[in-house]
Chains A and B, each alone.
Chain A
Amino acid sequence: AQSVSQHNHHVILSEAASLELGCNYSYGGTVNLFWYVQYPGQHLQLLLKYFSGDPLVKGIKGFEAEFIKSKFSFNLRKPSVQWSDTAEYFCAAGSSNTGKLIFGQGTTLQVKP
Chain B
Amino acid sequence: DAGVIQSPRHEVTEMGQEVTLRCKPISGHNSLFWYRQTMMRGLELLIYFNNNVPIDDSGMPEDRFSAKMPNASFSTLKIQPSEPRDSAVYFCASVILGGQETQYFGPGTRLLVL
Q: What is the interface of chain A, defined by CB distance below 8 A to chain B? A: 32, 34, 36, 42-46, 49, 51-52, 90, 94, 96-101, 103, 105-106
Contact = CB atoms under 8 A, between A and B. Distances in A.
Contact of A96 (B43, B98, B104, B106): B98
A32 B43 contact: no
A85 B3 CA distance: 23
Contacts of B82: none
Contacts of A42: 107
Contacts of A45: 105
B47 to A, nearest CB: 11
Nearest to B96: A99
Given A43-B107, A43-B108, A103 B100 contact: no
Nearest to A36: B105
Query: In this complex, which of A52, A90, A98, A99 has the most chain B Cβ atoms within 10 angstroms of its Cβ?
Result: A99
Contact of B43 (A46, A98, A106): A106
Interface residues of B, number: 25
B71 interface: no
B43 A97 contact: no
Contacts of B104: 46
Q: 3 tightest A-B contacts by CB? A: A99-B31, A51-B100, A44-B105
A66 B95 CA distance: 24
Contacts of A98: 31, 50, 55, 97
Contacts of A97: 97-98
Given A34-B102, A106-B42, A99 B50 contact: yes
A96 B33 contact: no
A55 B31 CA distance: 27
B45 A100 contact: yes
20 contacts: A42-B107, A43-B106, A43-B107, A44-B93, A46-B102, A49-B102, A51-B100, A90-B43, A94-B103, A96-B97, A96-B100, A96-B101, A98-B31, A98-B50, A99-B48, A99-B50, A100-B45, A101-B33, A101-B103, A106-B43
